[in-house]
Structure 1
Amino acid sequence: MIYWWRRSLAAQLIGFTLLALVVSQALTFMISWDERTKALHAAMKGEFFSRCASMTRLMESMPVPLREQALLASETSYSRFWLSKEEPIDANAWRGRAATELTRPIENFIDLGRKYGLRSNSVTERLSFSEVTTANASENWVTPPLVLWSLPRPAKFVYFDDHNGYGLTIKLNDGVWLNTAFYKNISDGWWDSKSLTSLAITALILSLIGIFIASRIARPLRRLAVSAEALGRGENLPPLPEEGPDDIKRTAEAFNKMQQRLHRFVDDRTRMLAAIGHDLRTPLTSLRLRAEFVKDADVQQKMLATIDELQGMTEAAISFARGESTTEETRAIELEALVGSICDDLADLGLPVEYIEGPKTTYRCRPDGLRRAVRNLAENAVRYGGHAKIYICHSSAAIDIIIEDNGPGIPEDMKEKVFVPFFRLETSRNRDTGGVGLGLSIARAVARQHGGDILLQPNNPGLKAIISLPQEGHVQASSRASRRKRRSPKLAEQES
C-alpha cells in the first residue's frame, strides 16, 4: 500500500480526494448536527403539545365509556395515551409507566419496516426501562410554558430517556388525568445505512473521476519521461504531440524546443571542429614544404616529426568530428554477440583478448558507436597491460561491459584527466605506443550518448574499465548463461 501511495499519482489523487470528502462530511456533521437536532426536537415537541391539546378536547367532548377505545385508536408507533384517576406525583414512577406503555404492542399496527427487512419504526427494542427511569432521575414535573400549552387545564411536563421522550399529564374537566407519552430517538439517525451508502457511492464516483484525471495527467508525463530518457541515450525522436491542457502543452513545447537546441548545439560543435581540423591542413602542408629547405638535418627531422604529430592530431580530430556528426539510428541488437565479435576480430589480429560469455542481452543502442568504444578500451588494455579480459555484468540499474587488464593502472589523480582530448599518460612522442589521446575521449562520448558513462577502477593489479549502460535500453534477456572463453592463438601459445 505504501509502495503504491508513493509511486502512483492516481493513488495519491484518490487518497487526497477521499480524505477531503471525509473531512468535509465530518465538518458538515459537526456544524449542522447540533442545530439539526435542536430543530427536530422543537418540531416534535410542538407536534406533541398540539396533539395533546387535540386529545384533551376530544376526551372532554365524548362519553366516558368511549374514551379508552378513542385513546387506543389514536396511538401511534411513537405515542401512547392512558387515563388515571389520581394525579401523578412521582415523576420517576410515571417514567416507568411510560416505558411500559411505549413498549406495549399497538393493536392492528403493521410494521412494514420489519416485514421487508428495513429499519423498524417500533420503539419496543430500543427503549430500556432502566435507562428511562435513570436518565432524567433528577428532573421533576414542570409546568409547560404558555407558548406550548394554552388550554385552561392544569398540565405537568417531564422529560425521559435523555430528552428523547416527552411526557405530559393533563387534568380533564371531570377530574380524570390524561397521560401522554412520546418517544423518538434521533441521536443515531445520522450514520445510518442510507448515509453510509450515499457516502460510499460518492467516494466511488470521486475515485473513478480521480483515476480518469490522474491518467490524463500521468500519460503525457510518462511519454515525456520515456522521450527524455531516449534523448539522454542519443536517440533521434519525433517531437512530442503538443496537445492537452495548457500546462501539459507548454511542457511538451519546452521539451521539443530543448531537443532542437541540443541537436543544433551538437551539430554546430561538430561542424566547427571539422572545419578547424580541415583548415589546419593548409598551414601544415606549408610548414612541411618550408621544412624541406632547412639545411640542418637534425633540426629538419625534428620539425618534420612535430609536423607529423600535428598532422596526426588534425586527422584524428577530423575523424572524431565526422564520427560525431554521423547520425546512426538506434536499434535493438544482441549485446553479447556485438562484444563477442569485437573480441573475435581482435583475436584474429593476434591480440591476447579473452572474452567470457554471459547471458544473452538484447539492448537498444547505436552499434557502430558502441563497437568503437569497446574496441578502443580493449586495444588500450592490450597496449598497456599486455592482455584484456572482457565480460558483461548485469545489475539492477545498469548493464556493464567490463574490460580488465594487468597493466600498471592509472593514478587516482589522473582518472579524469585521461578523458581530456589529446591528453596522454604515455610521455613519449611515439604515436604507435601512446596514440594521439582521443581513444578514451571518444569512448566516454559514446557511453554518455547512450545515457551511461565510463568508470575506471583498480584491478589489483591493473585497471578495470567499465562501460556502464542504463537498464532502460534493455529489451529482454534469456536465462541461459554459459561460461565460454575465446582465446587468440597468441594467448594460447603463451599459456602453453
Structure 2
Amino acid sequence: MTRLWTGSLAARFICFTLLSLALAQAATFLISWDEHGQVMRKAAKGEMLSRCASLVRVLEATPPELQDDILAASNTTSTRYWVSPHGPTDAAQWRREAWDHLTRPLPRVMFPGQKAFPEPRIEAPANIEAAGSPNWYEVRPEAWPLARPASFLYLDQNTGMGLAVRLENGSWLNSAFAKPVQEGFWNAQSITSLGLSALVLSIIAVFAARGITQPLRRLARASEALGRGQDIGPLPETGPEDIRRTAEAFNRMQARLLRFVEDRTRLLAAIGHDLRTPLTSLRLRAEFIADDELREKMLSTIAEIQSMAEATLAFMREEATAEPTRTVDISALVESLCEDLAELGHDVVFAEGPRLGYRCRPAALRRACRNLVENAARYGERARVRIEVSEQNIDIVVEDDGPGIPDGAREQVFAPFFRLENSRNRETGGVGLGLSIARTIVRHHGGDVMLTNLHRGLRATVSLPTLDAEAPARAPRETHAEERMPASIPGARATPAV
C-alpha cells in the first residue's frame, strides 16, 4: 500500500477523491439528518391529522354497527385506530395503550396461491418510561380541519405520536402512529449508491491523473535523453498553463545547453586549429638553429605540442559531429572491437556474454571501449573483457595484468593530457586524452568509468544505466564537420583519433 501511494500519482488522486467523497457524505449526513427528521415528522403529523379527521366524518356518517369494520379497514402497519368510551386523562397510561395497539399484528387475509411476505414490524421502546413523561397538547385550529378540539401527544423521540378526538355520540376516537423499524443508514441501497459514486469518481480521477502524468513522463524521458546526449526535438507546449510553462522552460533550457556546448566546441576546435600556424612557424625557425642538440629539443617540444593540438582538434571535430542514437547489440559491438584489436596483434580475450539491445551512439561508445582495451593491452600486457548485467547497470569490464594505478592518481588520470609515463614520448606514453575521452563519452550516455586496482593488474569498468530513455530521437541533418566549424578554420581535416 505504501509503495502504491509513493509510486503512483493516480493512486493518490483516487485516495484523495474517495476521502473527499467520504467527508462530503459525512458532512451532508450530519447537516441534513436532523432537518430531514423534522421534515418527515411534520409530514407524518399532517397526514395523521388529515386521515383522523376523515375517519371522524366517516364514523359519524355511518351506522354504529359498522364502526368496528371501518376501524379495522382503516388500520395500517404504522397507524392504529380504536374507540374508547372516555376521553384520555393519564397521558402515560394512554401511551402504553397506544404502543400495545401498534405492536399488535394486523389480521392477514390470504388468497389461495398467494405468497406470504413478511410485514414491516413496529417495536415499542425497550423502556417506554425512559422517553419522558408525555403531555397532551391542544391541536391548533389552523392545523386541524374539524371545528371540535383534539388532543395530541408524542409517543417517543422519533416519529411516534397519538391523537384523541371526541365523536358526536360522546365516545372518543384514538389514533396512534409510529414508523416501522427500518434498516440503518448503511443498508444495501446506500452502500450500492456510495460504491457507484466511488467507482465513477475513481475513473474520473484516473483520467485526470493520466492527463497530468503523461506530460510528466514525457518530460522525464526527454530529460534522461538530453542528459545522455541524445538529439531530441522540443516538447509539445500544450495542456494546462502549468504544464505548458514547464514544457516551455524545458525547451528553453535545452536550447541554451545545446548552444553552450556548440559554442564551446567551436571555440576549442578553433583554438586547436589555429595553433597549427604558429607551430609551423616555430618549426621553420627551429630548423635554422645551428646547435644540433638545442634544435632537436625544440623540434621535439614543437612536435609534442602539435600532437596535442591535433588530438584536441580531432576530439572536438568528433564532438561537433552529431551522431544519431540507435539500438545496437552491445555484446556484438564489444566483441567485434576485441576481434579487431586481436587481429592487430594485441593480447585481447572477450568472454561470451548475453546478447543485449542498447540504445546509444555506437561509434562513440566503441571509441571509449577501444581506448580502455588498448590501454590494458599496451600497458597491462593483456586485456580480458566481459559484460556483466544487473538490474540497474550494464557493466563492460576490462582487466589487465599491469602494475595498476596509484590510489592518489586514480582520478588524475582522467584529466586531459595527464600521463603517468613521464618520458613525454608519444609512442610510449601517448598524448593523455584516452581516458578523458572515454569518460566523457560514457558520461554522455548517462554512465561512468571507474578504475579499481586488483591484486595484480587494473580493472576498468564502463557502467551504463539499463533504464533506456525512450524519447523519440530527432534524425539529425547530414552535417559534415567542416559545416560545424567556425569560419576561421576553413579546410580543416580530421586527424586520427588519439
Instruction: Tell me if TM exceeds 0.5.
Output: yes
Q: Secondary structure at the match of 1:472?
A: coil
Q: Secondary structure at the match of 1:454?
A: strand
Contact 1:92 1:137 in 2 (8 A): no
**% same residue:** 50
Alignment-derived partner of residue 425 in structure 2: 430
Equivalence map 1:265-280=2 (5 Å): 265-280=260-275
Which residue identity lines up with residue 360 of structure 1 in the other structure? R
Alignment-derived partner of residue 361 in structure 1: 356
Q: Secondary structure at the match of 1:473?
A: coil
Identify if the C-alpha distance between structure 1 residues 139 and 58 changes in structure 2 by more than 3 Å, giving closer, same or farther.
farther
Identify if the C-alpha distance between structure 1 residues 418 and 145 changes in structure 2 by more than 3 Å, giving closer, same or farther.
farther
- After alignment, is 166-175 or 74-83 more displaced? 166-175
1:136: how far off? 4.1
Q: Structure 1 residue 344 and structure 2 residue 345: aligned?
A: no
Alignment-derived partner of residue 458 in structure 1: 453
- After alignment, is 220-229 or 432-441 more displaced? 220-229
Identify if the C-alpha distance between structure 1 residues 231 and 204 changes in structure 2 by more than 3 Å, giving closer, same or farther.
same
Structure 1's unaligned 5+ residue stretches are 476-496
Which residue identity lines up with residue 157 of structure 1 in the other structure? L
1:31: how far off? 1.2
Alignment-derived partner of residue 157 in structure 1: 153
Contact 2:376 2:398 in 1 (8 A): yes
- After alignment, is 84-93 or 229-238 more displaced? 84-93
Alignment-derived partner of residue 21 in structure 2: 21
1:198: how far off? 3.2
1:144: how far off? 1.3
Contact 1:351 1:382 in 2 (8 A): yes
Identify if the C-alpha distance between structure 1 residues 41 and 82 changes in structure 2 by more than 3 Å, giving closer, same or farther.
same
Structure 2's unaligned 5+ residue stretches are 471-498
Alignment-derived partner of residue 390 in structure 1: 385
Q: Structure 1 residue 304 and structure 2 residue 305: aligned?
A: no
Q: Which of 345, 368, 372 is the equivalent residue of 1:377?
A: 372
Q: Secondary structure at the match of 1:369?
A: helix
TM-score, normalised to structure 2, is 0.84
Aligned equivalents of 1:369 and 1:55: distance in 2? Answer: 102
Contact 2:161 2:178 in 1 (8 A): yes
Aligned equivalents of 2:432 and 2:65: distance in 1? Answer: 125
Q: Secondary structure at the match of 2:120?
A: coil
Identify if the C-alpha distance between structure 1 residues 460 and 87 changes in structure 2 by more than 3 Å, giving closer, same or farther.
farther
Alignment-derived partner of residue 139 in structure 1: 132
Alignment-derived partner of residue 78 in structure 2: 78
Contact 2:221 2:469 in 1 (8 A): no
Equivalence map 1:252-331=2 (5 Å): 252-331=247-326
Aligned equivalents of 1:207 and 1:169: distance in 2? Answer: 55
- Number of aligned positions between the proteins: 464
Alignment-derived partner of residue 478 in structure 1: none
Which residue identity lines up with residue 14 of structure 1 in the other structure? I
Which residue identity lines up with residue 71 of structure 1 in the other structure? L
Q: Structure 1 residue 402 and structure 2 residue 397: aligned?
A: yes
Q: Secondary structure at the match of 1:465?
A: strand
Identify if the C-alpha distance between structure 1 residues 468 and 154 changes in structure 2 by more than 3 Å, giving closer, same or farther.
closer
Contact 1:294 1:300 in 2 (8 A): yes
- After alignment, is 417-426 or 443-452 more displaced? 417-426
Alignment-derived partner of residue 197 in structure 2: 202
Identify if the C-alpha distance between structure 1 residues 95 and 164 changes in structure 2 by more than 3 Å, giving closer, same or farther.
farther
Alignment-derived partner of residue 12 in structure 2: 12
Aligned equivalents of 2:365 and 2:310: distance in 1? Answer: 21
Q: Which of 205, 209, 212 is the equivalent residue of 1:214?
A: 209
Alignment-derived partner of residue 494 in structure 1: none
Alignment-derived partner of residue 232 in structure 2: 237
Aligned equivalents of 1:426 and 1:115: distance in 2? Answer: 106
Identify if the C-alpha distance between structure 1 residues 394 and 76 changes in structure 2 by more than 3 Å, giving closer, same or farther.
same
Q: Secondary structure at the match of 2:18?
A: helix
TM-score, normalised to structure 1, is 0.84
Contact 1:399 1:469 in 2 (8 A): yes
- After alignment, is 193-202 or 315-324 more displaced? 193-202
Identify if the C-alpha distance between structure 1 residues 144 and 188 changes in structure 2 by more than 3 Å, giving closer, same or farther.
farther
